[in-house]
């Protein structure tokens, strides 16, 4: 019988905007008890992108950090996919800017993947299949998830905003996580739970309905996964979920473990061990849409890579609209040493707290950033400030 190739995530790096808002302060400004955001939603902070921190800048910063920290070279990349729902153009993909700014090979296939928060997973699983099929011919893939989650000020979604990028290096014999190639459970359905009409920066959402759509999709994808040969032979010691806000992961875990036959009490008790370590970074950054599941994975590996060596973990991705996928992988023994080198949470150390007034001012500036004059050819390009790539998409 044909052997299954060992393919998965070799390295991870993040980038986040400079500023964040403490949700306890936002709650006070909105006249809401802080406990609603902190324990009701399970979030502590939300990262806020300034107008010069667009999805291209965030993506390039994460990918640069990935290469610097992992020891990989852009010359090894044969496929680059950017998952985003915060595109900067209807036609030219964010990936084209990333390709240019990182000096990726001209022989590299590049494209952008859009399906709400599922776009990053669409990219990752396509990259895994590309390598497993033999098309990669020894090359690696770069998958970058980059997004800015914005809801209207004072809306119910406001405390679930966030921004950031997660870059993944995907290759054979990965050092972090070997994925179960070809073993995914998928669920898709046409639902209208969350959408961003063209030219809207802010998302529109039917909030409580979107929670139900997420849970229905989890049930469908998990059920499809459980039916696969051998999927449940070995337990999943941890599971990372798509995290629009921490409480959603808690609800998801309860739902999934009850499908496994646990009582609500036992399912909830298992949350602390099986899920909580993956929620530290999401609770400090917010929803990063396409990167959200991978931010949860980064959080888990950042704290527990050593004890998880050789252990199996589950991954659940949800994108509104909707498509969802449940899959699994095994943490590799080299992961702990590499995680120390990757310094996954390093970018959060330079962040600065914004007051609610400063956040509202940034949002007002951001709302008009795209209506400045179109770029001239001479004005397009990049400058590099202290090692930080800055994308100049407009003539400023």
Question: Could you tell me the sign of the dihedral formed by the alpha carbons of 343, 138, 56, 193, in that order?
Answer: negative
Q: Of 30-38, 76-84, 349-357, 381-389, which segment contacts ligand HMG by CB under 6 A? A: 30-38
Query: Does the bond joining 322 to the residue before it have cis omega, within 30 degrees of 0?
Result: yes
Residue 285 contacts ligand HMG per CB under 6 A = no
Question: Shortest distance, CB of residue 81 to ligand HMG, whole angstroms?
Answer: 17
Of the residues 108, 112, 213, 242, only one is catalytic, namely 242
Q: Would you mind telling me the total number of residues written for the chain in this entry?
A: 396
Short-list 331, 160, 303, 361, CA closest to 237: 331
Q: Of 64-72, 75-83, 200-208, 349-357, which segment contacts ligand HMG by CB under 6 A? A: 200-208
Residue 255 contacts ligand HMG per CB under 6 A = no
Q: Identify the helix (H) or strand (E) that includes residue 185.
A: strand 185-188
Both structure tokens of 388 = 């930080």
Short-list 317, 380, 379, CA closest to 83: 317
Among 189, 208, 226, 372, binds ligand HMG (CB under 6 A): 208
| Of residues 8 and 157, the one with the C-beta less far from ligand HMG | 157
| Of residues 36 and 361, the one with the C-beta less far from ligand HMG | 36
Binding mask 158-197 for ligand HMG (x = CB under 6 A): --x--------------------------------xx---
Number of other residues whose CB lies within 10 A of the CB of residue 375: 14
| Of residues 97 and 194, the one with the C-beta less far from ligand HMG | 194
The residues, any chain, with a CB within 8 Å of residue 177's CB and separated by 6 or more, are 8, 9, 297, 301, 313, 329, 330, 331, 332, 335
Question: Shortest distance, CB of residue 118 to ligand HMG, whole angstroms?
Answer: 7
Among 20, 130, 318, 326, binds ligand HMG (CB under 6 A): 318
Residue 326 contacts ligand HMG per CB under 6 A = no
Number of other residues whose CB lies within 10 A of the CB of residue 139: 19
Both structure tokens of 112 = 């952008």
Tokens 């120390």 belong to residue: 340
Within 13 Å and on the Cβ side, how many CA atoms surround 375? 14
Q: Identify the helix (H) or strand (E) that includes residue 256.
A: helix 246-259
CA dist., res. 184 & res. 313, Å (int): 13
Question: Shortest distance, CB of residue 163 to ligand HMG, whole angstroms?
Answer: 13
Residue 317 contacts ligand HMG per CB under 6 A = no
Of the residues 117, 213, 240, 322, only one is catalytic, namely 117
Residue nearest to ligand HMG (CB): 40
Residue 28 contacts ligand HMG per CB under 6 A = no
- Which region holds residue 79: left if phi is over 0, alpha if psi is between -120 and 50, else beta? beta
**Integer CA distances (angstroms), 88 to 16, 55, 75, in order:** 18, 8, 26
Binding mask 350-379 for ligand HMG (x = CB under 6 A): ------------------------------
Question: Shortest distance, CB of residue 186 to ligand HMG, whole angstroms?
Answer: 15
Concatenate the DSSP letters of all residues of 212-230 into one string. HHHHHHHHHHHHHHHTSTT
Residue 20 contacts ligand HMG per CB under 6 A = no
Binding mask 214-253 for ligand HMG (x = CB under 6 A): x---------------------------x-xx-xx-----
Is residue 213 flagged as an active site residue? no
| Of residues 196 and 388, the one with the C-beta less far from ligand HMG | 196
Question: Shortest distance, CB of residue 146 to ligand HMG, whole angstroms?
Answer: 13
Both structure tokens of 132 = 């497993």
Rounded to the nearest 5 percent, the helix, strand and coil shares of the chain are 40, 25, 35
Is residue 385 flagged as an active site residue? no
Among 85, 219, 276, 366, binds ligand HMG (CB under 6 A): 85
Burial of residue 338, with CB atoms counted within 10 A of its CB: 0-12 exposed, 13-18 middle, 19 or more buried: buried
Both structure tokens of 148 = 């800015």
Residue 66 contacts ligand HMG per CB under 6 A = no
Kindly state the number of chain residues that form the binding site for ligand HMG, as judged by CB under 6 A.
Answer: 30
Is residue 80 flagged as an active site residue? no
**Catalytic residue positions?**
85, 117, 242
Q: Which residues lie near ligand HMG (CB under 6 A)?
A: 33, 35-36, 39-41, 85, 116-117, 156-157, 160, 193-194, 205, 207-208, 210-211, 214, 242, 244-245, 247-248, 287, 289, 318-320
């Amino acid at each position: 019988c044909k052997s299954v190739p060992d393919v998965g995530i070799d390295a991870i790096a993040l980038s986040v905007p400079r500023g964040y808002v403490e949700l306890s302060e936002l709650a006070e400004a909105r006249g809401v008890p802080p406990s609603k955001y902190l324990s009701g939603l399970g979030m502590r902070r939300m990262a806020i992108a300034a107008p010069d921190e667009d999805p291209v800048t965030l993506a390039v910063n994460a990918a640069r950090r990935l290469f610097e920290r992992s020891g990989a070279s852009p010359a090894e990349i044969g496929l680059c996919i950017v998952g985003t729902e915060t595109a900067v153009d209807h036609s030219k993909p964010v990936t084209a800017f990333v390709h240019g700014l990182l000096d990726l090979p001209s022989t590299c296939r590049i494209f952008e993947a859009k399906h709400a928060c599922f776009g990053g997973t669409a990219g990752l699983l396509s990259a895994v299949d590309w390598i497993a099929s033999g098309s990669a011919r020894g090359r690696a893939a770069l998958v970058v998830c980059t997004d800015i989650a914005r809801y209207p000020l004072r809306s119910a979604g406001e405390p679930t905003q966030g921004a950031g990028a997660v870059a993944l290096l995907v290759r054979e014999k990965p050092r972090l996580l070997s994925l179960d190639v070809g073993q995914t459970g998928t669920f898709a359905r046409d639902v209208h739970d969350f959408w961003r009409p063209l030219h809207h920066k802010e998302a529109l959402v039917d909030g409580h309905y979107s929670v139900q759509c997420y849970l229905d999709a989890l049930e469908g994808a998990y059920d499809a996964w459980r039916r696969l040969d051998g999927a449940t032979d070995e337990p999943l010691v941890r599971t990372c979920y798509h995290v629009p806000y921490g409480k959603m992961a808690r609800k998801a875990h309860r739902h999934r473990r009850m499908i496994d036959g646990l009582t609500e009490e036992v399912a909830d008790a298992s949350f602390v061990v099986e899920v909580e370590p993956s929620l530290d970074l999401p609770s400090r950054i917010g929803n990063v849409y396409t990167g959200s599941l991978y931010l949860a994975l980064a959080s888990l590996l950042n704290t527990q890579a050593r004890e998880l060596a050789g252990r199996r973990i589950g991954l659940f991705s949800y994108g509104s609209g909707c498509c969802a996928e449940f899959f699994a992988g095994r943490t590799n023994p080299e992961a702990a040493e590499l995680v120390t080198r990757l310094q996954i949470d390093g970018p959060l150390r330079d962040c600065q707290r914004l007051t609610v007034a400063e956040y509202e001012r940034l949002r007002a500036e951001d709302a008009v950033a795209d209506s400045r004059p179109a770029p001239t050819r001479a004005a397009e390009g990049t400058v590099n400030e202290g090692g930080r790539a800055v994308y100049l998409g407009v003539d400023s």
